[in-house]
Amino acid sequence: MTKLILFLMIFMVSNTAWPYDSHRELQVGVTRKGGLYTLVASFDTSLTQCAAYHYLTDYDGAKDLPGVISSIAYRESANKVKVDRTADQHILFFNVRLHSVMEYTEKPFDRISFTQLSGDSKAFQGSWDIVPNRQGSTLTFRGLWQPDSLIPFFIIDHFAKNGLRDKFNAIAKLAEKRKGMLSTSCGN
C-alpha cells in the first residue's frame, strides 16, 4: 500500500541522496479536496527557456534524479512521448519499487503536459510551464493526483506536503548542474 501513496514522486523521487539545501525561490504547495490533491511548485533557474525545455524533456536523463532506476522514452510523434519509469522510494523502514507509464505532450519551448496511462494511482496529470525571466527562466509545475489507497488521508497528506519540497529541490539542483550541457543545445 505504501506504493500507492508514493506514486506522486515516481518521476522525481527520493530526497535521501540530496542534502536539504533549498533552491532559491522554490515555492511548493499541496492542497487536498476530498481524495484529489492539487500540487503546485515553482522555482527560478539560470537556464534559458530553451535549455529549461530540453532539461524537462530529457526523459531518459531522469535517471540522474535520486531514486530513479530506469526511465525509457518512446517518441510516438513530433510532440508526444510515452515514458516508462521505475523508481525506488525509501520511506520510514520500507524500500518501495514504483512503476508508471506516462504520456507527455510537448509544446516547445513553453509547456510540457502529462497524463498517467498506467501506474499506482487512480489519476495523475499535470504540466510544466517555462517562462523566461532576466536571470533565465521560471519553471512552474501544476498537477492533480488521486491516490489509489486505503491508507488514511492524514498520512498521505504528511508525505505529500513534506516530501514534495525535497523532490522539487532535487529537480532544481539538477537543472543547474546541467546548465552548460543544455545551453549548447540551444546555440547559447
Report the C-alpha gap between 41 and 162 in whole angstroms: 13
pLDDT in tens, 167-180: 889 899 998 888 77
| 3-class secondary-structure state, position 66 | coil
Predicted TM-score (pTM) of the model is: 0.82
pLDDT band, very low/low/confident/very high, at 97 (cuts 50, 70, 90): confident
Identity at 130, one-letter amino acid code: I
Q: Identify the weakest region by mean pLDDT among 16-20, 84-88, 111-115.
A: 16-20
Three-point CA angle 153, 68, 146, nearest 5°? 25
Exposure string of 25-58, with b = 16+ CB inside 10 Å and e = fewer, is eeebebebeeeebebebbbbbebbbbbbbbbbbb
Domain architecture of the chain: domains with CATH: 2-12+32-184 (3.30.530.20)
Report the distance separating Cα 170 and Cα 20, nearest Å. 9
CA neighbor of 17 nearest in space, from 82, 81, 89:
89
In angstroms, what CA-CA distances link 124 with 41, 148, 159, 185?
15, 11, 16, 30
**Cβ 154 vs Cβ 37: under 8 Å:** no
Tens-place pLDDT, residues 49-93: 999 999 999 999 899 888 889 999 999 999 999 999 988 876 555
